[in-house]
Amino acid sequence: MNIDIETIKKISHLARLELKPEEEQQMSSDFAKILDWMDQLNELDTSNVEPLMHMHQGVNVFRKDIAKNELTKAEGLFNAPQKNEDYFMVPKVKE
């Protein structure tokens, strides 16, 4: 399957890409290869295959969300370039 240059230009515009003419030709052939591969996949019989929700059988394995203070204020401020006893000091960003 071939994609014309106008379609490539439209796709590159939507993707905010600036392609040279030789890059457009290369992109056209790349798209053709991808679409040919997709056609090959469509030839497979998947009627007896159950759709997957996930690639593995694991079910949401999350840890408990427990707040803990593992870093003291002094340890957190230790390597700060500018600080006072309680806070990081940063340059003013708004007048």
Q: Where in the chain are the domains?
A: 5-42
Residue type, 17: L
Predicted confidence band of residue 76 (pLDDT cuts 50, 70, 90): confident
Residue 1's pLDDT is 67
**Entry pTM:** 0.48
| 61-65: average pLDDT | 83
Domain 5-42, classified CATH 1.10.1740, yes or no: no
Cβ atoms of residues 1 and 8 within 8 Å: no
Q: How far apart are CA 2 and CA 90, in angstroms?
A: 55
